[in-house]
């Protein structure tokens, strides 16, 4: 698509992509369209945050041992209710739900699996910092239909995703997605209620000038991780250092900025919580979808040792260290974390 594509609706864009695939049945376009409707509902509710009784915690702790916000619950429910009846999914997986989510028996089942983080960055809801929804879609590989036997289908490596992306509820609401054919961004035009193409064929710079991480965890990192972060802060004209530090604490927002501007987002493994020795972020609903997006935009995502997309998952809620962004910067991180490079 050339620049003339800017301004077309997401629906037109999905249909154009569908036409380029001779095997497409329309099922996938239908699925994404419904997800977009769910995101519009969430976006509307998020925009009202501050009014009424939708801010704050529910008082519950989720499967991740984290405090559940009312908007987490709302977004989770909107996506499940919207997606369960469309006949394209065999099950779903959510950050907020311990087990795979079944499709109620009154609805038809399909061949796709939707994994999602309904609301990312929820600790930022109350303070008007951007938050989002992250999703990855897989095709079922077995002939199983019973949710009790679908875990293996849901636990495919990220490389098997057929589509992935995110919605960011920020100064505007933006959807960024890929089906393995480049990355495009669409901005919600509120008065029309449509997502229009605004960021065509996004490419992340090979090397950036931004590093993003929660540096308050410094004392909990191993020596290689400390050396890596020290490296980005050192002065060296030829490599453009020191880098600038940018971190708001919503993965979608930190990722989106670095996708457009270049740089590296890091959430290293730390020794802060013995229950989470491998970092904080979730492989299936956070790392894998963004890893597919960044790869399609020319970037790279690593767990510090190798590609995120090649990790064989063992648990729906497993956590991974995450280094994601400009290819050269993520490769620098790998070199430090393997101990091969020192400041
Ligand atoms: P979620 O709101 O879905 O639980 O995710 C929160 C995540 C992610 O958005 C962000 O990158 C990270 O938590 C921030 O963690 P710290 O507060 O430890 O920096
Ligand atoms: Mn999240
Ligand atoms: Mn979340």
Please state the atom number of ligand 1 nearest to the C-alpha of residue 281.
7
- The Å distance, Cα 130 to ligand 3 centre, comes to 13
- The Å distance, Cα 119 to ligand 2 centre, comes to 6
Residue of the nearest CA to atom 7 in ligand 1? 121
Do residues 265 and 213 lie in contact, with contact meaning Cβ atoms separated by under 8 Å?
yes
Q: Hey, what domains does the chain have and what are their CATH numbers?
A: 3-199 (3.30.540.10), 210-337 (3.40.190.80)
Question: What is the rounded average pLDDT of the residues 37-49?
Answer: 91
Confidence category of residue 29, pLDDT binned at 50, 70, 90:
very high
How many beta carbons lie within 10 A of that of residue 257, not counting itself?
A: 21
How many beta carbons lie within 10 A of that of residue 249, not counting itself?
A: 13
Which of 61, 120, 279, 301 to probe ligand 1 with, by most ligand atoms within 8 A of CB? 120
* Residues near ligand 1 (Cβ within 6 A): 66, 95, 117, 120-122, 214, 249-251, 280
Which of 66, 93, 95, 123 to probe ligand 1 with, by most ligand atoms within 8 A of CB? 123
Residue of the nearest CA to atom 12 in ligand 1? 249
Quick one: 73 exposed, middle or buried, by C-beta within 10 A (0-12, 13-18, 19+)?
A: middle
Q: H or E stretch including 228? A: helix 223-233
Question: Which ligand is the nearest neighbour of the Cα of 124?
Answer: 1
What's the CA gap between 252 and 179, in Å, rounded? 18
Asked whether the predicted pLDDT for residue 2 surpasses 70, the reply is no
Tokens of 75: 């977004």
Q: 3-state class of 188 per DSSP?
A: strand
Please state the atom number of ligand 1 nearest to the C-alpha of residue 120.
3
Specify the residue for token string 């939708």: 54
- The Å distance, Cα 145 to ligand 1 centre, comes to 33
pLDDT of residue 1: 45
- Name which residue leads in pLDDT, 341 or 251: 251
Please state the atom number of ligand 1 nearest to the C-alpha of residue 123.
2
Which of 214, 255, 271 to probe ligand 1 with, by most ligand atoms within 8 A of CB? 214
pLDDT of residue 273: 76
Question: What is the rounded average pLDDT of the residues 68-82?
Answer: 92
What's the CA gap between 178 and 171, in Å, rounded? 22
Which of 76, 249, 268, 290 to probe ligand 1 with, by most ligand atoms within 8 A of CB? 249
Which phi and psi (to 5°) does residue 188 adopt? -75, 120
Tokens of 145: 């239909």
pLDDT of residue 141: 97
Please give all residues whose CB falls under 5 A of ion ligand 2, grouped by chain where several chains appear: 117, 120
- The Å distance, Cα 335 to ligand 3 centre, comes to 31
Residue of the nearest CA to atom 18 in ligand 1? 214
Question: What is the rounded average pLDDT of the residues 206-234?
Answer: 97
- Provide DSSP, 57-123: EEEEE-TTS-EEEHHHHHHHHHHHHHHTTSS-EEEEEETT-SSPBPPPTTS---SEEEEEEEEETGG
Tokens of 298: 């020319």
Question: What is the rounded average pLDDT of the residues 140-164?
Answer: 96
What's the CA gap between 128 and 96, in Å, rounded? 22
Please state the atom number of ligand 1 nearest to the C-alpha of residue 265.
11
**pLDDT tens digits, residue range 102-111?**
999 999 999 9
**pLDDT tens digits, residue range 260-302?**
999 999 999 988 877 667 899 999 999 999 999 999 999 999 9
Question: Which ligand is the nearest neighbour of the Cα of 64?
Answer: 1
Residues 6+ apart with CB under 8 A from 46: 71, 125, 131, 169
């Amino acid at each position: 698509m050339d620049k003339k594509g800017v301004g077309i609706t997401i629906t037109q864009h999905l249909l154009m992509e569908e036409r380029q695939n001779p095997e497409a049945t329309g099922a996938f376009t239908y699925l994404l369209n419904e997800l977009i409707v769910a995101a519009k509902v969430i976006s509307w509710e998020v925009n009202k945050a501050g009014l009424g009784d939708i801010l704050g915690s529910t008082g519950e702790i989720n499967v991740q041992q984290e405090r559940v916000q009312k908007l987490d619950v709302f977004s989770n429910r909107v996506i499940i209710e919207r997606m369960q009846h469309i006949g394209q999914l065999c099950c779903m997986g959510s950050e907020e739900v311990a087990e795979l989510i079944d499709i109620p028996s009154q609805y038809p089942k399909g061949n796709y699996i939707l994994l999602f983080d309904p609301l990312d960055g929820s600790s930022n809801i109350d303070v008007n910092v951007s938050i989002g929804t992250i999703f990855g879609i897989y095709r079922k590989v077995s002939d199983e239909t019973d949710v009790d036997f679908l875990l293996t289908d849901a636990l495919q490596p990220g490389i098997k995703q057929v589509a992935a992306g995110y919605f960011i509820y920020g100064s505007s609401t933006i959807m960024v997605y890929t089906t393995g054919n480049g990355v495009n961004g669409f901005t919600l035009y509120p008065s029309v209620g449509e997502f229009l193409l605004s960021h065509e064929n996004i490419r992340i710079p090979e090397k950036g000038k931004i590093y993003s991480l929660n540096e308050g965890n410094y004392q909990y990192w191993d020596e290689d991780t400390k050396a890596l972060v020290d490296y980005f802060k050192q002065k060296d004209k030829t490599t453009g250092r020191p880098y600038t530090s940018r971190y708001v604490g919503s993965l979608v927002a930190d990722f989106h900025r670095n996708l457009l501007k270049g740089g590296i987002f890091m959430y290293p493994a730390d020794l802060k919580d013995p229950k989470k020795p491998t970092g904080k972020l979730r492989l299936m609903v956070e790392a894998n979808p963004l890893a597919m997006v960044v790869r399609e935009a020319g970037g790279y995502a690593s767990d510090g040792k190798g590609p995120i997309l090649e990790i064989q998952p063992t648990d729906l809620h497993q956590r991974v260290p995450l280094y994601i962004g400009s290819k050269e910067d993520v490769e620098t991180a790998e070199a430090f974390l393997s101990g091969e490079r020192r400041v």
